[in-house]
Amino acid sequence: MAKHNDVSPEGRSVRLLRVGEQFRHILSELLARGEVHDDVLNSHSVSVTEVRMSPDLRHATAFIKPLLGANEDVVLKALRTNTAFFQREVASRISMKYAAKLKFLADDSFDQATHIETLLNAPKVQQDLTDKDA
CATH of the domain at 76: 3.30.300.20
For the segment 27-53, the average pLDDT, to the nearest whole number, is 90
For residue 131, pLDDT beyond 90: no
pLDDT at 117 (0 to 100): 73
Domain assignment of residue 51, yes or no:
yes
Domain assignment of residue 3, yes or no:
no
Question: Of the ranges 16-30, 50-64, 82-96, 98-112, which one carries the lowest mean pLDDT score?
Answer: 98-112
Domain count of the chain? 1
pLDDT at 54 (0 to 100): 93
Domain assignment of residue 121, yes or no:
no
Domain assignment of residue 129, yes or no:
no
pLDDT at 72 (0 to 100): 86
Domain assignment of residue 93, yes or no:
yes
Which residue segment(s) compose the domain that 49 sits in? 14-107
More confident residue, 82 or 67: 82
**pTM across the whole model:** 0.73
Domain assignment of residue 134, yes or no:
no
Domain assignment of residue 123, yes or no:
no
pLDDT at 77 (0 to 100): 94
Q: What is the 3-state secondary structure (H, E, C) of the chain?
A: CCCCCCECCCCCEHHHHHHHHHHHHHHHHHHHCCCCCCHHHHHCCEEEEEEEECCCCCEEEEEEEEHHHCCHHHHHHHHHHCHHHHHHHHHHHCCCCCCCEEEEEECCHHHHHHHHHHHHCCHHHHHHHHCCCC
